């Protein structure tokens, strides 16, 4: 983002917004299922939301559907995205608070975290970042070289925003004698005017402090690939173990949700020829809301050991 855009887009602090209450796990499951039932043809019957399993369809057969999310890793692992996402936000908030408490200035940091070095001690990482901020608070707005924060392995990127360009109120461009063009007249002219104005401001070299209340942010960069069959099998086995507590029904399905909005889950689910075995679940269905992608697997019972084909 250019200094011009940042300057003009955030002249004053935003007014506070109301924080929406977090949905319960049951509310989330119901939300996912309502989306799913609009995409997938279910057996006829009354839908009843319950527990163990999450949904029961009271029809010709009593069908239980258990709902779970397809996380890349077990959430109990410290390096899992489920745990690290919240820790990164916590570290950014703590670091800024420590920095300001020590007399820091109204500057912004954009922080990128290294997934190969998960955060273990929130307070220690926050203190290291706050200390570093005092050393770079008078720099020009720029990216900080990696060599300057090698002692903080949890980070792989820092961008510091200390000041913004000061644009002349009496700026005049002979190419645009009427001033800034309207976007309705074409974006290219609008962009050219902005670029020329910014170039003139850079040439004059006049800067001013940030005109909004700074907030330190976490930079989000994520990569995703194809669905991991091994992880799906782990999830299936975990649910089979918990299925011992289910109410007795005629059949059970497992609905596995891939929420693309969550980096801890996002993945491509289209896989041909997927085969999976289950003693408990009749079907295993992987569903990606919004995109309406569905992989429907008829789970088969494993063959007795004596009948397994030889390798």
Res 16 pLDDT > 50: no
The structure tokens listed for 29 are: 């499951």
pLDDT digits (tens, 9 = 90+) for 143-171: 999 999 999 999 999 999 998 877 778 88
pLDDT digits (tens, 9 = 90+) for 272-282: 667 788 989 99
pLDDT digits (tens, 9 = 90+) for 199-216: 887 787 778 888 899 999
| Band (80; pLDDT cuts 50, 70, 90) | confident
Res 307 pLDDT > 80: no
Of 263, 115, 108, 38, nearest to 47 by C-alpha is 38
Provide the pLDDT for residue 297.
84
Provide the pLDDT for residue 273.
66
pLDDT digits (tens, 9 = 90+) for 223-266: 666 778 888 898 999 999 999 899 999 999 999 999 888 887 77
pLDDT digits (tens, 9 = 90+) for 82-92: 889 899 999 99
For the chain, percent of residues with pLDDT exceeding 70 = 86
For the chain, percent of residues with pLDDT exceeding 90 = 48
Provide the pLDDT for residue 69.
92
59 vs 229: which has the higher pLDDT: 59
119 vs 73: which has the higher pLDDT: 119
Average pLDDT, stretch 24-48?
Answer: 93
Res 308 pLDDT > 80: no
Q: How many angstroms separate the Cα of 79 from the Cα of each of 115, 151, 193?
A: 8, 19, 47
Range with the poorest average pLDDT among 41-50, 67-76, 98-107 = 67-76
Provide the pLDDT for residue 127.
98
Average pLDDT, stretch 92-106?
Answer: 97
Across all residues in the chain, what is the average pLDDT?
84
């Amino acid at each position: 983002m250019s200094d011009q855009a940042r300057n003009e887009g955030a002249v004053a602090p935003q007014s506070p917004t109301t924080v929406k209450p977090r949905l319960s796990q049951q509310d989330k499951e119901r939300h996912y299922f309502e989306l799913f039932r609009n995409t997938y043809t279910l057996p006829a019957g009354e839908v009843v939301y319950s527990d163990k399993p999450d949904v029961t369809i009271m029809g010709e057969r009593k069908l239980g559907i258990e709902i779970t999310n397809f996380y890349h890793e077990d959430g109990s692992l410290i390096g899992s995205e489920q745990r690290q996402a919240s820790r990164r936000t916590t570290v950014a908030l703590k670091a800024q608070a420590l920095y300001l408490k020590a007399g820091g200035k109204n500057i912004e940091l954009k922080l990128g975290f290294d997934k190969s070095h998960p955060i273990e001690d929130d307070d220690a990482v926050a203190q290291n970042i706050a200390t570093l901020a005092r050393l770079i608070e008078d720099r020009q707005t720029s990216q900080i070289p990696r060599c300057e924060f090698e002692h903080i392995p949890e980070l792989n990127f820092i961008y510091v925003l200390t000041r913004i360009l000061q644009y002349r109120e009496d700026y005049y461009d002979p190419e645009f004698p009427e001033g800034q063009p309207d976007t309705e007249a074409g974006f290219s002219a609008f962009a050219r005017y902005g670029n020329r104005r910014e170039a003139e401001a850079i040439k004059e070299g006049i800067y001013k402090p940030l005109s909004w209340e700074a907030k330190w942010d976490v930079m989000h960069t994520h990569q995703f690939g194809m669905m991991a069959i091994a992880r799906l099998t782990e999830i299936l086995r975990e649910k089979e173990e918990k299925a011992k507590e289910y109410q007795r029904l005629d059949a059970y399905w497992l609905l596995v949700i891939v929420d693309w909005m969550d980096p801890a889950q996002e993945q491509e689910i289209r896989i041909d020829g997927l085969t999976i075995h289950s003693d408990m679940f009749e079907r295993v269905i992987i569903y990606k809301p919004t995109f309406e992608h569905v992989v429907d697997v008829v789970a088969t019972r494993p063959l007795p050991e004596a009948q397994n084909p030889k390798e």
